[in-house]
Structure 1
Amino acid sequence: MLLPFLPIFVGELGVKQQTSMVLWSGLAFGATFIGTGLTAPFWGHLGDKYGRKPMLVRAAVGMAIIMSLIGLSHNVYQLVLLRLAAGLIGGYASSSMLLVATQTPRERAGWALGVLSTGALTGNLIGPLIGGVLPNLIGIRNTFFAGGAVIAIAMLATIFLVKEDHREIRPAPSVGDSTAISQRLHRSVRITVGAMLATAMLVMLANMSIEPIITVYLETLKVPKTRIVLDAGFIMAASAFGSILMAPRLGRWADRIGGWKVISFCLLTTSAVLLPQAFVAGWWQLGILRFLLGMSLAGLLPSVAKVIRHSVPERQLGKVLGYSQSSQYAGEVIGPLMGGVIGAHFGMRSVFIATSAITLIGAAANWLCQRAVHEGNAVNSTRRTLPR
């Protein structure tokens, strides 16, 4: 919601030079993601111990208060600090993922996480539209108060409508001669978690390496300046709309054939869709390809959460999914930096080619990791059945 009017609000807080407005707007917007990335594993650990619903309520209460306080900011320093605080105390999205992952049956976790992902993507699509309209109707500061009120409604819905069957799970004692087996199992879990964290980062990197340069890229496609912002908006919305359509379907597919296979397929498809974006001749071609890209990216994060859900002991699930959230925010930081550096030195089209190559490598790496994990699990199963 903040995206359309944040630079204007920075100007109202006393920053007048355009370059400074861009700098402070970027700092204020990114501060929340930095804060969330730092604290997501901690909140996930507390969720494992005390339940995910209390973490949801805590995040909603904190965000409702801080969102309203942002409307009372007197300078950009307060704005950035409050945005950072919103990230540090927030984490509603990661806690909701934990709740859904642990409260749904394993065989339907992919579908449920896909539906949850659809909700988040819809918010990302609708938020900027509301942010473009509401300040003109009620003013920028009142828009922050309205945002706080909406989060308060979400808090009440969480308190009264969300149910959780939580019990603290303690580690089971080791039995028999299982040292070698447990070591191999531990190795399989480490490979799985490492692959999933890298994939979570790669998903956001693939998306964010492109989105910041879309407006500049449209200039190279000879789009009239009067239409660039509108066309860029349509292209960004096309990606989100594609993800909204496919997230539940790909989640259901992950339930049937397994999260690993969906991840490898989606990364391979993402690589194939990214490459022709470097050679488009018109904005509408880019829009169609971005729509297809959104469809291919939609199955990745729900499948990552599903694989982690199946591989990590439940007593550690919250912490690991918290690290997954941190990896996503790392991708959101690395992606624009990578896109900017490659675009500046090798041209805009090179960004698409490089991102396509990275996602192709990611698909191959996931396939190799899946084989290693399955082979390790097969060895463990054989050792368990051998006579002593």
Structure 2
Amino acid sequence: MKKYRSVWVLIISMFFMASAYTMLIPFLPLYLLELGVSQARVHLWTGLVFSSAFFVAGIMGPVWGKMADTRGKKRMAVRAAFLIGCSYFLGGIVHNEWQLLGMRIFQGFANGLVAASMAIISSTVEEKALGTYLGFAQTSIILGGICGPFMGGVLSHLIGMRDSFFVAALFLWLVTAAIVIFVREPAHAPWKTSQEGSIVDDLRYARSNRLMFEFLMAYFVLQGTIMMIQPVVTLYIGELQHSMSNVAVTAGTIMSCGGIAGALTTTFWGRLGQKKGYYRAICMTISGAGLGMLIQSIPDSIFWFGVCQAMVSCFIVGANPSLNAALVKCTPESFRGRAFGLSNTAQQMGSMIGPLLSAGITEFMPIYMVYILAGIVLLYLAWRMYQAHLHSVSL
């Protein structure tokens, strides 16, 4: 549909963004070794390199969100795509771990492409189709996450890890050009407050808007729970197969199959939210993912673990599109950029906290306890969202 051309360009752009990210970031520990970091220190530097970007992105989220509402969402999308491309280019010319850390900090500063894109989509698409198109956007990110590691492995083999960064930079600069040429941003009236929309005032508004605050907490808890699991998946699979031999291949296969299962069900959850209510979809997806994670702590074979992983993926991918659609419905249109900026901050902070919790748990308890705690947290979150639904307008 011609009037949704901007939406489809952004959806495709998010696929390339996710592909560029996942074709490089999972391999950063290998790149650190290539840069000369010792085996004994690679875990420390991996933690620093990963968490630094999340921390800075979390701080900058409200700033970029405010600028999206005051200076234009398209402008912020172009800014983010171009600067993220620059960060990948810098990643290809670094020579030591400190420079790589600086690159990741800059990448966290540049973050905001998904938030700006979601804000444009939510302002362009008619309300009756919002859940479906946000589902398409989430599917594109998932598919990018599936294709990225495969492309990264092939490129690393063919041209080396360093040159792969330049390919990722090219992806993002092509995305920048596509957004500049093809994306049109709907006009809107500026959102006003007694303090002319200062960042502090934005935070106060978010806190006073009970629904919005509940959704931001859900973003934080959901992302933190996901990131609790990610650092231990490979180690847990190694325990289940009683060997670390070829564990990377096994883990990659299981995660890819789970990603495919999730991609196939994302639009279903978006349509369910449109027809039955976004709160219902949120509660169903989060509780289903929680139950799946609890079950994942039980299997004693790789096959059943993979089945459980597919089940978790089928549910958990439906949470974000429903949360995004519900967030749109409880905020003014001209506050959209800030709303998605704050949701981005909540997710980035969850991404930073999750691995720290996982490390603390595995220091004193078996790995399966991470899955048990993650399942309990998600079930509690689903109950909180259900309670919020009982005291809110219908969503």
TM-score by length of 1: 0.88
What is the deviation of 1:4?
A: 4.8
Per-residue deviation at 1:245?
1.2
2:181 aligned with 1:160, yes or no?
Answer: yes
Please say if residues 189 and 312 of structure 1, whose CA atoms lie closer than 8 Å, have aligned partners that are also in contact. no
Is 1:327 the counterpart of 2:349? The answer is no
Distance 1:329 1:90, change over 3 A: closer
Aligned partner of 1:127 in structure 2 is 148
Cα distance in 2 for residues equivalent to 1:172 and 1:187 = 13
Query: 1:216–1:139: structure 2 CA closer, same or farther, 3 Å change rule?
Result: closer
- CA displacement at 1:102 relative to structure 2: 1.4
Bigger-Rg structure (1/2):
1
Q: CA deviation at 1:307?
A: 0.9
Query: What amino acid maps onto 1:133 in structure 2?
Result: V
Q: Secondary structure at the match of 2:390?
A: helix
Please say if 1:317 is aligned against 2:336. yes
Distance 2:260 2:357 in 1: 25
SS in 2 for 1:225: coil
Shift of 1:281: 1.5
Tell me which of 170, 173, 195 is aligned to 1:149. 170
Tell me how far apart the structure 2 counterparts of residues 31 and 150 of structure 1 sit (CA, whole Å).
Answer: 23
Report if aligned partners of 2:188, 2:334 keep a CA contact under 8 Å in 1: no
Q: Which runs of 4+ in 1 moved over 6 A?
A: 186-189
Matches within 5 A, 1:262-341: 262-341=281-360
User: Are 1:271 and 1:355, in contact at CA under 8 Å, matched by a contact in 2?
Assistant: yes
Runs of 5+ in structure 1 lacking a partner? 174-185, 378-388
Q: SS at the partner of 2:297?
A: helix
- SS of 2:246's equivalent in the other structure is helix
Q: Which residue matches 1:360?
A: 379
| Alignment RMSD | 2.2
Native 8 Å contact 2:112 2:341 kept in 1: no
Task: Determine what percentage of the aligned residue pairs are the same residue.
Answer: 27
Hey, what's the Cα distance between the residues in 2 that align with 1:225 and 1:55? 44
Take 2:63 and 2:298, find their aligned partners in 1: how far apart are those partners? 44
> Any conservation in 2 of the 1:57–1:159 contact (CA below 8 Å)?
yes
User: Deviation at 1:205?
Assistant: 2.3
CA distance in 2 between partners of 1:99 and 1:270 (Å) = 29
Residue 250 of structure 1 deviates from its aligned partner by 0.7
Alignment of 1:24-43 (within 5 A): 24-43=45-64
**Structure 1 segment 61-140 matched on structure 2, within 5 A:** 61-140=82-161
| d(CA) in 1 for partners of 2:193, 2:67 | 20
Rounded to whole Å, the distance in 1 between the matches of 2:260 and 2:220 is: 21
- Between the aligned partners of 1:160 and 1:104, the Cα distance in structure 2 is 19
Quick one: distance in 2 between partners of 1:112 and 1:21? 41
Q: Which moved more, 1:140-149 or 1:284-293?
A: 140-149
Query: Which letter maps to 2:124?
Result: Q
Q: Which residue of 2 aligns with 1:196?
A: 215
Q: Which amino acid aligns with 2:228?
A: S
Within the candidate set 29, 35, 45, 1:13 is matched to: 35
> Is the CA contact 2:81–2:173 (under 8 Å) kept in the aligned structure 1?
yes
Deviations 1:217-255 (A, max 9, x none): 223324433232221112222332222111111111111
2:72 to 24, 42, 51: 51
With the length of structure 2 as denominator, give the TM-score of the two structures.
0.86
Structure 2, gaps ≥5 residues long: 1-22, 195-204
Contact 1:193 1:308 in 2 (8 A): yes
Deviation at 1:34, TM superposition (A): 2.2
Q: Once the 2 structures are TM-superposed, how far is the Cα of residue 171 of structure 1 from its aligned partner?
A: 4.5
1:258 has 2:277 as partner = yes
SS state of the match for residue 346, structure 2? helix
Quick one: distance in 2 between partners of 1:324 and 1:224?
40
CA distance in 2, matches of 1:100, 1:60: 16
Could you tell which deviates more after superposition, 53-62 or 22-31? 22-31
Checking the alignment, whether the CA contact within 8 Å between 2:206 and 2:212 is kept in structure 1 is no
Could you tell me how far apart the structure 1 residues matched to 2:187 and 2:303 are? Answer: 49
> Residue 48 of structure 1 aligns to a residue in which SS?
helix
Distance 2:151 2:180 in 1: 26
| 1:175-214 equivalence runs, <5 A | 190-214=209-233
Cα deviation, residue 85, structure 1:
0.6
Range with bigger deviation, 311-320 or 333-342: 333-342
Moved more, 49-58 or 24-33: 24-33
Checking the alignment, whether the CA contact within 8 Å between 1:51 and 1:166 is kept in structure 2 is no
Preserved CA contact (<8 Å) 2:24 2:164 = no
In 2, Cα distance between the equivalents of 1:21 and 1:56?
34
Distance in 2 separating the partners of 1:105 and 1:224 = 52
Judge conservation of contact 1:189–1:311 (CA < 8 Å) in 2.
Answer: no
In the alignment, the residues of structure 2 paired with residue 278 and residue 223 of structure 1 have an alpha-carbon distance, to the nearest angstrom, of 16
Aligned pairs, number:
363
Residue number among 257, 262, 271 corresponding to 1:238 in the alignment = 257
Is the CA contact 1:188–1:373 (under 8 Å) kept in the aligned structure 2? no
